[in-house]
Amino acid sequence: MRDVALAAGVSNQTVSRVLNKRPGVGEGTRQRVLAAMRQLNYRRNLAARALVTRRSGILGVLGVETTLFGPSSMLYGIEEAARAAGYLVTVANVHAIDRRSILEAVDRLCQHVVEGIIAIAPKPALTDALLLVPPGLPTVGVGGGISGTTPTVRIDNVAGARLATQHLLDLGHTTVHHVAGPSDWPEARERISGWRSTLLTAEAPIPAIWPGEWSARSGYERGLALAHDPSVTAIFCGSDQIALGVLRALQEAGRRVPRDVSVVGFDDTPDSGYFLPPLTTVHQDFAELGRRSLAVLLDWIDRSGELPVEHARLPPDLVVRASTAGLRRTGT
């Protein structure tokens, strides 16, 4: 830093202000300091800064190794929000959700002197494992099962399922069938709960649930059985990928969407508007999830964890496209 100050003809304090983006430095002076930094190939030593300030400027993200749209979009939202707040992010993914794997991942993050951890927790086991985080290290969970001692931020899956189911009932369908995600995911169970409670309130028949995986293949396999049942006129799918498979199964069986069967998904993936037909779906704001989880974590860091535990649920929206329509009565 002294070399930069000499090259720019300014004080060490001025260089520090430029580095930390603090006011009180004229634009000409700031550009001179930045030019000197480039000339000398100066980079701030984050390890030395952490020793002096006890703040590393690094946040850890703990996640499960997956290519699923939801968790990967959550990670993108968190990284984007962290970058805007001036933090770097280091990620530790686990292959298996067990005590040893979680401890090893947390240890890797702590070696980077992270100031806090955000855990993308699609399953309760990972949320529960957050109890293994060293005391005093602020931690926030995104999605997954709720822990009483760890603040969490998640989409209101129950409300989203209600929006989807009520939309189909309002179109005149007498009931709604549900092709669900895996039963060990809280998101899948919550969407089942919202679907079932909406049918109960409407005093509509409650069909058997078709559980599966978060995949088009799973939706296709379960959709084949539904497609050959002429009483099926409306299907709510636990994800857009499931809906993609259901749409293919219906098309192969000669059931037209939405003329014969209406279909609703969940997630609003970037491709859902280009399905054939474009998919009506429940939108999740993953960018907002990232911003909210980061805001909660930074509050815990700044106040040394002296905050009430918050379990925030973000409201979803229904995006209506061409895969849903009013029920056509026989003979019309």
- Do 221 and 259 fall within a single domain? yes
Verify that 172 and 276 share a domain, yes or no. Answer: yes
Length of the chain (residues): 332
11 within some domain: yes
Rounded to whole angstroms, the Cα distance separating 103 from 112 reads: 15
Note the pLDDT of residue 307: 64
Q: Which residues, other chains included, contact 296 with Cβ-Cβ below 8 Å and sequence gap of 6+?
A: 140, 151, 153, 310, 312
Mean predicted lDDT score pLDDT of the chain: 87
Residues of the domain holding 37: 2-44
Inform me whether the pLDDT recorded for 296 exceeds 80: yes
Asked if the structure places residue 321 within a domain, the reply is: no
Is the pLDDT at 111 greater than 90? The verdict is no
35: domain CATH number?
1.10.260.40
Residue 208 belongs to some domain of the structure: yes
Please give the average per-residue pLDDT across 251-263, as a whole number. Answer: 97
Whether 319 is covered by a domain: the verdict is no
For 198-249, what is each residue's pLDDT tens digit? 999 999 999 999 889 999 999 999 999 999 999 999 999 999 999 999 999 9
Residues 148 and 82 in one domain: yes
- Domain check: are 254 and 203 in the same one? yes
290 and 143 within one domain? yes
- Domain identity same for 38 and 68: no
Q: The domain spanning residue 90 has which CATH number?
A: 3.40.50.2300
Burial of 30 (0-12, 13-18, 19+ CB in 10 A): middle
Provide the strand spans (E) within 149-260.
152-155, 177-179, 234-237
Q: What's the helix, strand, coil split of the chain in %, to 5?
A: 45, 15, 40
Residue 332 has what pLDDT? Answer: 46
User: Both 141 and 280 in a single domain?
Assistant: no
| Within-domain flag for 253 | yes
Q: Please write the tens of the pLDDT for every residue from 304-326.
A: 656 667 788 999 999 999 999 99
Least confident of 48-62, 184-198, 264-278: 48-62
Determine the average pLDDT of the residues in 151-177: 96
Across 164-173, 292-301, 322-331, which has the greatest mean pLDDT? 164-173
Identify whether residues 104 and 114 lie together within a single domain: yes
In a domain, 323, yes or no: no
Query: Do 245 and 214 share a structural domain?
Result: yes
Residue 324 domain-assigned?
A: no
Q: Same domain, yes or no, for 161 and 92?
A: no
Alpha-carbon separation of residue 221 from 67, 147, 264, 274 (angstroms): 21, 34, 17, 22
Q: How many domains does the chain have?
A: 3
Q: Is residue 220 part of a domain?
A: yes
Note whether 163 and 274 are same-domain residues. Answer: yes
What pLDDT is recorded for position 320? 98
- What tens digit of pLDDT does each residue of 3-18 get? 989 999 999 889 888 8
For 178: left if phi > 0, alpha if psi spans -120 to 50, otherwise beta; the answer is beta
Q: Are residues 272 and 183 in the same domain?
A: yes
Helix, strand or coil for residue 279? coil
